[in-house]
A and B are shown apart, each in its own frame.
Chain A
Amino acid sequence: MTNFPWLTTIILLPIVASLLIPIIPDKDGKTVRWYALIVGLIDFVLIVYAFYSGYDLGNPELQLVESYAWIPDLDLKWSVGADGLSMPLIILTGFITTLAIMAAWPVTLKPKLFYFLMLAMYGGQIAVFAVQDMLLFFLVWELELVPVYLILSIWGGKKRLYAATKFILYTAGGSLFILVAALTMAFYGDTVTFDMSAIAAKDYAFNLQLLLYAGLLIAYGVKLPIFPLHTWLPDAHGEATAPAHMLLAGILLKMGGYALIRMNLGMLPDAHVFFAPILVILGVVNIVYAALTSFAQRNLKRKIAYSSISHMGFVLIGLGSFTNLGLSGALLQMISHGLIGASLFFMVGATYDRTHTLMLDEMGGVGKQMKKIFAMWTSCSLASLALPGMSGFVAELMVFVGFATSDAFNPIFKVVVVLLAAVGVILTPIYLLSMLREIFYGQENKELVEHEVLVDAEPREVFIIASLLVPIIGIGLYPKVATQIYDATVTQLTSMIRSHVPALTATSQAPEVENVAFLKAPDLYE
């Protein structure tokens, strides 16, 4: 079975299945959701099976590789593969999307279109993580935007059109940089190739690397998001429905991080040496700035949206750390936030279904009537504030230790960064716990209790949160469950990047920092 085209099957199954949706006889919208769920489950099982049977944990290289010529004239190849960077995210995608389909159970507006889009996204997202051809990557990256856009603009809140437009313009605007960078890299040098490994193997001029890096950083910075390119996210999140949220926070943000590692780190290591301090600083800004804005937010969805931005800051610090542990932590933070973010946004949706308001001022004391919702909210918030025993803690600790022990930065820079990032450790519980206090604690809000029916969680909701908490706690108790999937790849990648840091290799090929006056990095070579 090793030659079976696993990844292609996994990507195409939901897409093909989605095309069948229009011909499914379904009057009341109830058949199609079962259909979508079953397809999602089958695909998830396939992912797990492919991982189990065809993936070797000790091998840092691409596995499950397939390559077929698609349009030979364009040198466009359907080439997919998975290494330690892709594999955990592919599994995460299958997991979260299946749960999102289940979270969408109450959707009654145009169910056929909705599930069609969900399944299309399922395949599209996995494709982003699996494809190994630059051009193809760009295509799928763009393709998966369309369903998100439509889901936002049809099933969103009151300002959905504004939010959806902002989302697509930001991301599509960013994508132009990907295209330009991809083409430049493909045509650079003697050979023209779109194959990612071949592109990574090319040796680019340093100045060109810097330009390419900056362009890609903007593109992926929109997606991750990185301050100051983040403002589409609160708008998009503020208007999206729960399932769309789960996908946005759980998977779409991770594409930015994934692409940064795959391309910026993997293909442009010399530029990364230059840009790493900037990444770290942006990471700190993300953490502190977004935590503060989240604290001031009165709208529940936007509050959680800002908390996502804050958590992504740790990814950036990990990426810039030049250590195995830091990079490992960054990847784990992506996985962990995928799970925690999805669970928090699901809870926001579940709460909104009952209170019909997102404003904290209009809630209060609802814990008395919704005990299970209260318990689940508390668990998810504790996970998000990096309580030990849950995945977020391990990820943040790894990033902290990785960065603190990094030999690439001078001690003062490290002290300042660690100190400021640790301020986030104090700010996170402040905004999350005061949010809990305002929703659930204290006297019941009479206005709310009189006008809304506050029913406690139904089994479906308990099941979804339980499914998310199992891996969150599992990774928290024994992180090797997750880290060993990518350990080999990350180790290889780190040693490759470290070989480009002059101070660490003691070779004298110092990059020509003076030539680029517009960006001056803090002292990296102590």
Chain B
Amino acid sequence: MEPLLYEYAWLIPVLPLVGATLVGVGLISLNKFTNQLRQLNAAFIITLLGVSMAMSFALLWSQIQGHGSYTSTFEWASAGNFHLTMGYIIDPLTAVMLVIVCTVAFLVMIYTDGYMAHDPGYVRFYSYLSIFSSSMLGLVISPNLVQIYIFWELVGMCSYLLIGFWYDRKAAADACQKAFVVNRVGDFGLLLGMLGLYWATGSFEFEIMGDRLAELVSSGALAGGLAALFGVLVFLGPVAKSAQFPLHVWLPDAMEGPTPISALIHAATMVAAGVFLIARMYPVFEHIPVAMDTIAWTGAFTAFLGASIAITQNDIKKGLAYSTVSQLGYMVMAMGCGAYSAGVFHLMTHAYFKAMLFLCSGSVIHGMEGVVGHDPVLAQDMRLMGGLRKYMPITAFTFLVGNLAICGIPPFAGFWSKDEILGLAFQANPALWVVGWLTAGITAFYMFRMYFLTFEGEFRGTNQTIIAQLKAAAAGVEEEVVLEPAFGPGAMDPHELDHDEDHHHSSEPHESPWTMTLPLLVLAVPSFLLGWLGRPWANSFEALVHAPGETTAEVVEHAAHFSWTEFAIMGGNSVGIALIGITVASLMYLQQKISAGAIAQKIQPLYNLSLNKWYFDEIYDRVFVMGCRRLARQMLEIDYRVVDGAVNFTGLVTVVTGQGLKYFENGRAQFYALIIFAAVLGFVVLSSIG
């Protein structure tokens, strides 16, 4: 049974691909019919993914039992003596990732049935989800860098398609393009780094690359600086994909996509691919200290940056997005500190609790839409929420579980993984620990701010003053950028006409259907329990997934050195600051003892910095977007005037052109062409005789 399982492991990514292809072909060729089948398509796709999930669990089980890693390859491309192979590798890291991706994708797909029930693009959404799952699964089983790069781009494409799913929204259209282009900037680095490493080591296999690179650097055949450059270039890929500073700007905008994909792609799986790549490239990075430091500090800074912005966000999804940026920063920092297994562990726990938080936010939005209508400006704004716990108890409960997990309150999952990272960061560099520790406090604050604003207090969704304010603000922003002044009745609010139709509002939000709440409850289980695997005195996770250089025996021996005092100090510190954060949040947003507005007034510049996301978008727009457009226009101008002109009016061509054009305007074009042809032919004949 077992050999068969490994032999057919390639089916795991292929099955969802088959589903996506069949449904996709159906959509293109028999559109009406396929759309009518609706849930049948969904059931088909979910079943296929379910099979993949079962296989993944079986593989994980087999890996836990100690089955060695398994690789299978075939020759994909060749030219002369160059051979490029593709295939798949099953080792503990892969097995864990497979299970994460499959389970989250599976639950998100079930959730989608409720969330997208009334959307005309229901079937299309499922086929996109399926093709994404396929690419992501392909990514995690990749045995070499080229194959990772291939799937890396494919998940990027899926992200593009899904962010732009509601393509008639301008914000979505801009966001999907931004996501793709920013990711291409990262891929540019990844490609260059990949080429550099191949040039230096002659291989795309992780282990071989690492060994040869270490050899080359130590023997002096390759300058250390060059090796560091390649390392940092490769790291640019994860910087973009995992939304690290300075390429984090695409992720918050990506929230324009439907919420299920925010949970699946932009919280749990795809954005974690960057961390996964660092893990896979670990054999290379560990020999390049400069790269490791860059990774660690990028991660630490991003963790802080994300948290500092999340404090002031009012859009529930944007807040969660910045929290994701911050948490990814933790993982990257862990990788850079050499805390390989802690980073992957946090990736896993985060995947579950963040997916759950996003799905909760989707459930909230779904409930709010019943009150304020299908307008993201209103339905996602926390200033209009409040008191939702009464109406949506399951959502509120699961959100709270996720909140406790992300804040690092024991015994929830996030505590164990975050604490492990902080402990190892302290060993690597206390400064990193300070950043991480502070960020943990901010995290607790903004997450509970979010919880209190959304679920506690009074429901504000019917407050017309706030609604009017929000609408005006949104219209103002959009008008500045896009809309030309319109005339006629209702011209002041360009959305007015669009929204008149959906005034089927009730005055109270409602709990979501079971297809949405069930996945939430299921995800709450790992968010609560999963951390136990990584308890420091018996770390069974690390025994399974550890850095390629280490052996299991070393890991076990390392765990034996566990000291309760150390653990109590480190854990106490992080729990302490989290509790402070929660207390402050409750004073400000639950009991209203401290006025948030007054504080914001006092530190106006800092508040604005956070509210405006450190002005990254503005700066990038000014420098890169405008700069690129200007350069392009100038190039075109040059092309018209200089290049075309110069070639047109020099040499032999000029003479003929001048004469020729006169003829052509007389309409004797064909005749003239024949003359040229005959002349050339005559010339040929004459010269060959001569």
| A480 engages B153 (CB within 8 Å) | no
List of B residues within 8 angstroms of A422 by Cβ: 188, 191-192
Q: Per a CB cutoff under 8 Å, which of A74, A135, A491 touches B80?
A: A491
Contact B180 A325 (CB under 8 A): no
B635 and A289 form a contact (CB under 8 A) = yes
Take A231-B648, A296-B633, A419-B192 as given contacts and tell me if A153 and B669 are in contact as well, using a CB distance cutoff of 8 Å: yes
Distance in angstroms between the alpha carbons of A419 and B189 in the assembled complex: 9
Query: Given the known A-B contacts A142-B677, A165-B661, are A375 and B28 also in contact in the complex, defined by CB atoms under 8 Å?
Result: yes
A297 and B195 in contact, given A76-B688, A422-B188 (Cβ under 8 angstroms): no
- Interface on B for A, CB 8 Å cutoff? 28-29, 31, 75-82, 146, 149-151, 153-154, 157, 160-161, 164, 167-170, 172-174, 176-177, 180-181, 184-185, 187-188, 191-192, 195-196, 198-199, 202, 628-629, 631-633, 635-636, 639, 643-644, 646-648, 652-653, 656-657, 660-661, 664-665, 669-670, 673-674, 676-677, 680-681, 683-685, 687-689
Chain A residues with CB under 8 Å of B28's CB are: 372, 375, 462
B186 to chain A, nearest CB (A): 10
Q: Is the interface of B mostly helix, strand, loop or mixed?
A: helix
Are A75 and B688 also in contact (CB < 8 A) when A228-B647, A324-B81, A400-B191 are? yes
Contact with B along A397-408 (1 / 0, CB 8 A): 110111011000
Q: Number of A residues contacting the other chain (C-beta, 8 Å)?
A: 91
Top 10 A-B pairs, shortest CB-CB distance: A324-B80, A441-B173, A388-B150, A296-B632, A296-B636, A328-B79, A231-B644, A295-B632, A404-B195, A292-B635
Residue A208 at the chain B interface, CB threshold 8 Å: no
Report the separation of the CA atoms of residues A374 and B165 in the bound assembly, to the nearest whole angstrom.
Answer: 12
9 contacting pairs across A/B (C-beta < 8 A): A76-B688, A168-B673, A389-B154, A393-B153, A401-B195, A418-B195, A441-B170, A442-B173, A462-B29
Residues in B with CB closer than 8 Å to A365 are 168
Stretch from A32-40, A254-262, A424-432 contacting the other chain = A424-432
Please provide the chain A residues from 224 to 239 with a CB less than 8 Å away from any CB of chain B in the complex.
227-231
Whether A292 lies near B631 (C-beta < 8 A) is yes
**Does chain B have a CB within 8 A of A276?**
no
Which one, A20-28, A172-180, A335-343, is touching chain B? A172-180
Inter-chain contacts of B191 with A (CB < 8 A): 400, 422, 425
Q: Looking at the assembled complex, report how far the CB atom of A276 sits from the nearest CB atom of chain B, in whole angstroms.
A: 18
Q: Check B157–A387 contact: CB distance below 8 A.
A: yes
CB distance from A454 to the nearest CB of B (A): 14
CA distance A494 to B635 in the complex (A): 36
CA gap between A329 and B689 in the complex, in Å: 41
| Closest partner residue, chain A, to B151 (CB atom) | A388
Helix, strand, loop or mixed for chain A's interface? helix
Q: Which residues in A have their C-beta under 8 angstroms from that of B202?
A: 405
CB distance from B141 to the nearest CB of A (A): 15
User: Is the C-beta of A164 less than 8 angstroms from some C-beta in chain B?
Assistant: yes
Shortest Cβ distance from residue A402 to the other chain B in the assembled complex, whole angstroms: 8
Q: Is the CB–CB distance between A368 and B79 below 8 Å? A: no
**Known contacts A169-B653, A398-B77; is A388 also within 8 Å of B153 by CB?**
yes
Q: Kindly state the separation between the CA atoms of A47 and B41 in the bound complex, as whole angstroms.
A: 41
Residue numbers in B under 8 Å from A169 (CB-CB): 653, 656-657, 660
Is the beta-carbon distance between B676 and A168 smaller than 8 angstroms?
yes
Q: How far is the CB of A421 from the nearest CB of chain B, in Å?
A: 10
Q: Among the listed B161, B174, B680, B689, which residue makes an inter-chain contact with A437, where contact means beta carbons less than 8 Å apart?
A: B174
* Contact between B198 and A404, CB atoms less than 8 A apart: yes
Nearest CB to that of B653 among chain A residues? A173
Select from chain A the residue with minimum beta-carbon distance to B153: A388
Given known A172-B676, A367-B168, A480-B78, contact A405–B198 (CB-CB < 8 A) = yes
Known A228-B647, A296-B635; judge A162-B664 contact (CB<8 A): yes
CB <8 Å contact, A293 and B632: yes
Cα distance, A153 to B161, chains bound together (Å): 40
Q: Shortest distance in angstroms between A114's beta carbon and chain B's nearest beta carbon?
A: 14
Contact string, A13-51, partner B, CB cutoff 8 A, digits 1/0? 000000000000000000000000000000000000000
Q: How far is the CB of A473 from chain B (nearest CB, A)?
A: 10
4 extra interface residue pairs, beta carbon distance < 8 Å, beyond A162-B664, A293-B632: A324-B79, A433-B177, A441-B167, A483-B77
Flag if A175 contacts B188 (CB, 8 Å).
Answer: no
> By the criterion CB–CB under 8 Å, are B631 and A483 in contact?
no
> How far is B636's CA from A231's CA once the two chains are assembled, in angstroms?
11
Which residue of B160, B172, B689 has the most chain A CB atoms within 10 A of its CB atom?
B160
**Would you call B192 and A325 a contact (CB within 8 A)?**
no
In the bound complex, how far is the Cα of B668 from the Cα of A165, in angstroms? 11
Chain A residues contacting B82 (CB-CB under 8 Å) are: 324-325, 401-402
Given A172-B680, A179-B683, A430-B628, A150:B688 Cβ within 8 A? no
Distance, CA A334 to CA B198, complexed state (A): 25
A398 to B198 Cα, complex, angstroms: 12
| Distance between A225 CB and nearest chain B CB, rounded to angstroms | 11
Instruction: Among B154, B628, B665, B670, point to the contact of A387 (Cβ < 8 A).
Output: B154
| Residue among B78, B636, B646, B648 making CB contact with A297, cutoff 8 Å | B636
Q: B184 — which chain A residues lie within 8 A by C-beta? A: 425-426, 429
Question: Which residues of chain A have C-beta atoms less than 8 A from B635's C-beta?
Answer: 289, 292-293, 296
Tell me if A429 and B681 are in contact (CB < 8 A).
Answer: no
Q: Which of B31, B172, B664, B670 contacts A150 (CB 8 A)?
A: B670
Partner of B684, one of A138, A173, A388: A138
Q: With the chains together, A138 CA to B684 CA distance in Å?
A: 9
Q: Contact partner of B76 among A164, A440, A480, CB < 8 A?
A: A480
Q: Of B76, B198, B636, which is within 8 A of A293 by CB?
A: B636
- A153 and B680 contact, Cβ closer than 8 Å, known pairs A296-B632, A365-B168, A389-B150: no
Is there an interface contact between B653 and A442, defined as CB atoms closer than 8 Å?
no
Q: List the A side residues contacting B77 at CB < 8 Å.
A: 394, 398, 479-480, 483
Q: In whole angstroms, how far apart are the Cα atoms of A228 and B651 in the complex?
A: 14
Q: In the bound complex, how far is the Cα of B657 from the Cα of A414, in angstroms?
A: 40
Q: Which residues of B contact A150 (CB under 8 A)?
A: 670, 673
A462 to B689, CA, bound (A): 53
